[in-house]
Chain A
Amino acid sequence: MAAPHAARLTKWLIAGPPLAFLLAFFLLPSLIMALASLRYPGEFGGLAPLAARAGEESGLTLENYALFFGDWVYAQIFAKSLGIAALTTLACLVMAYPLAMLIARSPKKRRDFMVLLVILPFASNFLVRVYAWMIILGPLDLLFTRFAVVVGMVYVHLPFMILPLYTNLEKHDPDLLDAAEDLGANAWHSFWRVTFPPSLPGVFSGAALVFIPVLGMFAIPEMLGGKDDWMVGNMIKEAFLGTRDWPFGSMLSLMLTLAVLLIAGAAALYARKGAPHA
């Protein structure tokens, strides 16, 4: 482009401030936490100093990671978290799909209204939505159980599955279903062979939007679950605010980050691959 200097100046004037802010308050803290996972815990909590000092542990260490991989308990909690996330995602998918199909097939005006109805419960505070289930499940003696945790997770994350699914299904060609029917397919076959495959990118989008946040949740297990239902998030919270073992908490956060990156990466890969069907 002509006048390259002015154009470059404009580019950095526009991109600079948000970039600087995020570098300072997102990237830098993340890197510091990564470093923190390699340090010793401080005497009164927090982090021990990096420089060597007599009488105190200092410097870098791998003991946090050793602890994680050495003790079976942590792997169990991780596995439990993954299991709850998977269960929640599946439940959300099953519940969201019929509604998403209905919305996608409705005439435009009704569609917008139906989507608004899905978004509105979002208006309530996240805590309120969990509290509502405390009220309902308490008298039913189902409070502080694994079931309660999953119900809470599903309740909070359902809209995140409905919206991407509906966005994808909206783009399907209605004639395809007629063609299938014409060729002798019954309703189940039509669905499984004609509707479901091209909806997979939407399914994966929704699944990622549910699975990842659920993995990191701590408030729902704390409010709706028992001691047995602790997830990774609860461990992290306990490390930072309870035992104040920051290096350990940092290490757990890093493991969680890794898990999330792997899943997000897989979802992105599939989304790109699945595109030809759409």
Chain B
Amino acid sequence: MPLLELRNITRRFGALTAIDKVSLSIEAGEFFTLLGPSGCGKTTLLRMIAGFDAPDAGSIWLDGRDLADQPPERRPVHTVFQSYALFPHMSVTRNVAFPLEMAKKRPDEIAARVKQALAEVHLEDKGASFPHELSGGQKQRVALARALVNRPRLLLLDEPLGALDAKLREQMEIELISLQRDVGITFVFVTHAQPEALALSHRIAVMRDGRVEQMDAPSRVYGFPANRFVADFIGNCTMLPVSVIEAGAHGLRLASGALGEIAAPPAERARSGQSGVLALRPEQVHIMAANAAHELKNHFAGRVRDFLYIGDVTTYVVELENGLRIEALLANSAPGRARFFEVDEPVKVAWRHDAGIFLSD
């Protein structure tokens, strides 16, 4: 039995349907992420699980029991808020002890568990400090410790890493993964940052306009996006407009206008004559000198229009003969060299016959 089940949840705010018949189930011990752009409804869903909002239709089940009519304080669910919401008039110790005091635990048990919780987030010596004396990362960890100290069934995290700078965020991502693993509690994480979602989660639910577009493991969401929105939202993607010439069990033959034929991996619902796009990830597209030898099925000539140097890799924007632009990723193997190809240089781009994914319109 799944730990948390959302059954046909609908929530409306006036004329706006914020959540549209969403159903999903989350297993115990999972790190589950709700991913989507602002306004997609992910925070609304989180608040309903926590008890601060109620669905207009549908139900929420935790451990096989309907949560309806249960106020937030009676749900074994805790939240790490975006602003951390640490009580400014209480010390770190008292903040972390708060849920235990509400659960009426004995003082000696409280002291021991607070100590353990602070150790879990590496803040053992900050017990007597007050929130305003802490850095952003430290506040975040106190918020985590506080929400985990009495081992709730579910931990909800509302974009907790948003306010941290890039380096700190990466650090916290690693800490979050190991924390979740050590403590074994189910995490429901809300974010709009897809690299974060890919890095942290066991499963991701990609949301748009109140609906779940795709729910799957990160590698499958990335590698096999269900539609154009998901393909575009997760990672970078070039969409080549194509139409299906022949669809078979071994692969697709696609026509792409002036470029000619492209070989693509099989797609279940592709039919001959269908139009759509071929979604190609930059790392699948190889860039090489115009006359270089290779063995890849799909290859086209073009010119470098632009490039983006990120340090470890460079993304090239190559304009093909028919005016289409395609992104190709190349690792920078020689240190100190920003790029191998110059703007306007004639190059060849190529990819395997089983690279890319066909998405119908």
Instruction: Report which A residues bind B (CB closer than 8 A).
Output: 1-4, 6-7
Contact = CB atoms under 8 A, between A and B. Distances in A.
A7 to B, nearest CB: 8
B70 A3 contact: yes
Contacts of A4: 69
Which of B51, B70, B71, B72 has the most chain A CB within a 10 Å cutoff?
B71
Contacts of A7: 71
Contacts, number: 19
Contacts of A1: 51-54, 71
A1 B69 CA distance: 8
8 contacts: A2-B51, A2-B67, A2-B68, A2-B70, A2-B72, A3-B70, A4-B69, A7-B71
A3 B72 CA distance: 9
Interface in B59-80: 67-72
A134 B18 CA distance: 67
A126 to B, nearest CB: 38
Contacts of B72: 2
Contacts of B67: 2
B155 to A, nearest CB: 19
Interface residues of B, number: 10
A129 B162 CA distance: 56
A11 to B, nearest CB: 14
Contacts of A2: 51, 54, 67-72
A1 B51 CA distance: 7
A6 B52 CA distance: 13
A3 B69 contact: yes
Rank and list the top 3 A-B pairs by shortest CB-CB distance, nearest first. Answer: A3-B71, A2-B51, A2-B71
Interface in B32-55: 51-54
Contacts of B69: 2-4
A6 B69 CA distance: 10
Nearest to A3: B71
B131 to A, nearest CB: 24
Given A3-B71, A4-B69, A7-B71, 10 more contacts: A1-B51, A1-B52, A1-B53, A2-B69, A2-B70, A2-B71, A2-B72, A3-B69, A3-B70, A6-B71
Nearest to B60: A2
B4 to A, nearest CB: 15
A2 B62 CA distance: 15
A46 to B, nearest CB: 53
Contacts of B52: 1
Nearest to A1: B54
Contacts of A6: 71
A107 B68 CA distance: 54
B145 to A, nearest CB: 26
A141 B72 CA distance: 72
B353 to A, nearest CB: 54
Contacts of B68: 2
Interface in B206-235: none
Nearest to B74: A3
Contacts of B51: 1-2
A6 to B, nearest CB: 6
Which of A1, A2, A3, A7 has the most chain B CB within a 10 Å cutoff?
A2
A3 B70 CA distance: 6
Contacts of B71: 1-3, 6-7
A4 B54 CA distance: 10
Nearest to B50: A2
A1 B50 CA distance: 10
A107 to B, nearest CB: 24
A29 B297 CA distance: 91
Contacts of B70: 2-3
A226 to B, nearest CB: 58
A250 to B, nearest CB: 44
Nearest to B52: A1
A13 B150 CA distance: 31
Nearest to B68: A2
A5 to B, nearest CB: 9
A1 B70 CA distance: 9
